[in-house]
Amino acid sequence: MRRLLACSALAFFACRPPSTAARATPLDFDALPGPKVFSAEATLADRWRGPLRQSHDAGQAGSFKGVGDVDLGYLIHRVASPKAAVVLITGRTEPVRKYAELIDDLNRAGYSTYAMDHRGQGASGRLLPNPQKGYVESFDDYVTDLHTFVTTVVKPDTNAKVFLVAHSMGGAVALLAVDAYPDDFAAVVTSSPMLEINTGAFPAPIASTLGAAACGASDGTAWALGSGDFKEEADFSKSTVTKSLARFEWKRQLFTDSPELRVGGLTWRWLCESLTASSNAEQLGRFSSTPTLVLQAGQDTVVKPGGQDRYCAAAPRCQRSRLEDARHESFAETDDVRNVAVERTLKFFEAAVTP
């Protein structure tokens, strides 16, 4: 992580004073007014063949230059007299299009949206000859790309407050960005932020050691152990990210219809960078003064909850909201779970809009 070189690796967190912000009183979401029902999974497929697809495709597509002059794609949906602007960044492998439902929900609630594809995925430039390899040279590149997007695309386009919604890997990017560029966002919502990766049979220290050895011995572009090209998720019973059959099938069809959006498994470099970045991001809570909502999935097997708990416990303006029945993707879950995730996101932003 290049940014961490400002202090020595061991002294980085010790050489900074913590936030002086007062501990925020958690919002009582149930007591706050606002809609509780949003996009429905039963009608998703039909709406995607009609108005949802039309409104999504009507967004303004564009691109900008990220670190190393990589072309990064984005999609803007403006509303008249927006309450605020919401930047949206996705998890690993996810294209912006996968968030068409959430973008529509945010637009209907009065928020303009600015959704960006990370480098190496979605509509953005791929980084290796095999475009399906999950690779990043430095995790800081994701953070810098987001800052560039906000300062060169989003803020010149709007006078409204700027909020951020981020999922999984995007959640780690978001919390690193809040630390590096605290003036970029007025409030942040993270869904299942990647602050403690579930490394499965390999404990995190062993996974880090293996990754570091592989990265040190090569350029890190080879597939990590067990990874390979994109494989279609055809068996819903094995889904680890959602219990919604309708949204599972919709995502599967999305990659069938748009094979150029596919991303496969991990490279060693991505693993090295991400394990370090997630560990660092977890420790940044005590320095943050940005209002932050962590939507924690109670049945998540992709990332562990401990890192999220520790971040929020240390961050004076962080609120953790646990969705017990959610798997990893709360915004792509069954309606009973997803409605709560969207409701709490909107109420958190409404509180941030109010002076």
CA distance 277 to 307: 12
List the CATH code of the domain at 18-353.
3.40.50.1820
Domain range annotation of the chain: 18-353
Listed in order, strand segments (DSSP E) in the chain are: 60-65, 71-77, 84-89, 111-116, 162-167, 187-191, 292-297, 318-323
Range 340-349 average pLDDT: 98
- Per-residue pLDDT tens over the stretch 97-117: 999 999 999 999 999 999 999
- Name the nearest CA neighbour of 88 among 179, 157, 193, 188: 188
- Per-residue pLDDT tens over the stretch 116-174: 999 999 999 999 999 999 999 999 999 999 999 999 999 999 999 999 999 999 999 99
pLDDT at 183 exceeding the cut of 80: yes
CA distance 274 to 326: 23
- Per-residue pLDDT tens over the stretch 281-298: 999 999 999 999 999 999
Confidence of residue 15 (pLDDT cuts 50, 70, 90): confident
Range 205-212 average pLDDT: 69
- Name the nearest CA neighbour of 308 among 182, 201, 143, 191: 191
- φ, ψ for residue 77 (rounded to 5)? -125, 110
Q: Is the dihedral of CA 118, 122, 125, 131 positive or negative?
A: positive
Confidence of residue 13 (pLDDT cuts 50, 70, 90): low
